[in-house]
């Protein structure tokens, strides 16, 4: 039996049914319920709502694979699962274009005052000079992390007459006519925009902290559509307050459960959203109808079900 603990496209369920594979579709399932039912599972599909830890894995004697809808495996103890001969697969190919489009949308919105001016018109204000925008053309865009989403973002940007600098610690030889393979130092020195496309690992946790922001040379716009903890929130606020950066465009936060905030977290969040040059969306970059289908298909293919 396969446990599906996250929303999937109907294509995923139909594919299992056609193969005669038994499944339990419980997209609202949480850890306590999963702990009781995982003992019967041969496979499990998850997103980011449940942490697949050693305890769960030890209670799953028949488990053969763990399928992650989307990218990022930080919620899964992959090393322990593999020690138990459990296959772990993700599907970043499925939503990378959706994330790239969202990052580009945030940047266009920010530079051209789109959201601000729409709200003004709704309030019967017709302000043209006050909303004179800035073009992306001619800018230098730094991409940190050149996996599926980083490269998808670069592909979209290639139509905008920009200089694209990309850095990936674990990848080389990816430069082309549109993308210059660069170092982190070059991005820090030359980029007008810096976009993060990193997985969350012990190495990337708080990748952008005080030291990173203090080195920036061109007061760039910061974009993060990867994982919230790649950027240290307190350091981000300090960078804004000191005008080390021109703007902040986020789709992720260190803690996305706003009702669980400590007094310090609440203070930082309130201070961030008070800035006019800060835009935050609720972790929806990878949430498109097309991505839902593509992630399901990619995962099914990787697991050998279709």
The tens digit of pLDDT for each residue in 21-34 reads 999 999 999 999 99
Residues with catalytic annotation? 227, 265, 283
SS3 of 168, please?
Answer: coil
DSSP 10: H
CATH 3.40.50.1820 given to domain 2-90: no
On the question of pLDDT at 48 being above 90, the answer is no
Q: Encode pLDDT of 273-282 as tens digits.
A: 999 999 999 9
Give the pLDDT confidence score for residue 246 in this predicted structure.
98
On the question of pLDDT at 52 being above 90, the answer is yes
Show Cβ contacts of residue 115 under 8 Å, excluding neighbours closer than 6 positions: 109, 279
On the question of pLDDT at 270 being above 90, the answer is yes
Q: Are 127 and 144 in contact (CB under 8 A)?
A: no
**What is the Cα–Cα distance from 74 to 199, expressed in whole angstroms?**
8
Q: Encode pLDDT of 57-71 as tens digits.
A: 999 999 999 999 998
Give the pLDDT confidence score for residue 11 in this predicted structure.
97
Give me the residue spans of the domains in the chain.
Answer: 2-90, 94-280
On the question of pLDDT at 193 being above 90, the answer is yes
Question: Is this structure's pTM higher than 0.85?
Answer: yes
Mean pLDDT of the chain: 97
Q: Encode pLDDT of 115-167 as tens digits.
A: 999 999 999 999 999 999 999 999 999 999 999 999 999 999 999 999 999 99
Helix (H) or strand (E) holding 155: helix 148-157
Tokens of 173: 């030889």
For residue 55, how far is the Cα from the chain centroid?
27
Give the pLDDT confidence score for residue 60 in this predicted structure.
96
Mean pLDDT of 77-86: 97
Considering the domain 94-280 in this protein, what is its CATH number? Answer: 3.40.50.720
SS3 of 206, please?
Answer: coil
Q: Are 286 and 70 in contact (CB under 8 A)?
A: yes
For residue 3, how far is the Cα from the chain centroid?
24
Share of the chain above pLDDT 70, in %: 100
The widest CA-to-CA distance across the chain, in whole angstroms, is: 66
Residue 116 exposure: Cα atoms within 13 Å on the Cβ side? 18
Give the pLDDT confidence score for residue 18 in this predicted structure.
96
**What is the Cα–Cα distance from 156 to 19, expressed in whole angstroms?**
37
Share of the chain above pLDDT 90, in %: 97
On the question of pLDDT at 203 being above 90, the answer is yes
Q: Which residues of 241-256 are buried (b: 16+ CB within 10 A; e: fewer)?
A: eeebbbbbbbbbbbee
Give the pLDDT confidence score for residue 49 in this predicted structure.
85
Q: Encode pLDDT of 220-260 as tens digits.
A: 999 999 999 999 999 999 999 999 999 999 999 999 999 99
Q: Are 34 and 5 in contact (CB under 8 A)?
A: yes
């Amino acid at each position: 039996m396969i446990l599906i603990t996250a929303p999937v496209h109907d294509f995923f369920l139909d594919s299992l049914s056609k193969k005669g594979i038994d499944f339990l579709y419980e997209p609202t399932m949480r850890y306590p319920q999963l702990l009781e039912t995982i003992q019967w599972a041969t496979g499990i599909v998850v997103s980011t709502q449940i942490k697949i830890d050693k305890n769960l894995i030890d209670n799953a004697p028949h488990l053969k694979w763990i399928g992650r809808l989307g990218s990022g495996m930080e919620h899964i103890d992959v090393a322990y699962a593999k020690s138990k001969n459990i296959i772990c697969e993700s599907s970043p190919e499925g939503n990378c274009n959706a994330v790239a489009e969202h990052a580009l949308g945030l940047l266009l919105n920010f530079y051209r005052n789109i959201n601000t001016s729409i709200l003004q018109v709704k309030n019967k204000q017709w302000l043209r000079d006050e909303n004179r925008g800035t073009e992306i053309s001619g800018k230098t865009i730094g991409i940190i992390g050149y996996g599926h989403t980083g490269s998808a973002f670069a592909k979209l940007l290639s139509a905008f007459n920009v200089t694209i600098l990309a850095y990936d610690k674990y990848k080389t030889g990816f430069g082309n006519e549109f993308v210059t393979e660069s170092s982190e130092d070059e991005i820090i020195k030359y980029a007008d925009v810096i976009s993060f496309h990193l997985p969350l690992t012990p190495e990337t946790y708080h990748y952008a902290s005080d030291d990173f922001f203090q080195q920036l040379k061109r007061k760039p716009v910061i974009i993060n559509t990867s994982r919230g903890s790649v950027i240290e929130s307190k350091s981000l606020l300090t960078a804004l307050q000191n005008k080390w950066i021109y703007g902040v465009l986020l789709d992720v936060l260190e803690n996305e459960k706003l009702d669980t905030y400590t007094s310090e977290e609440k203070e930082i969040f309130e201070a961030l959203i008070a800035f006019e040059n800060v835009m935050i969306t609720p972790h929806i970059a990878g949430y498109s109808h097309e991505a839902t289908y593509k992630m399901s298909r990619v995962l099914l293919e990787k697991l050998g079900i279709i």
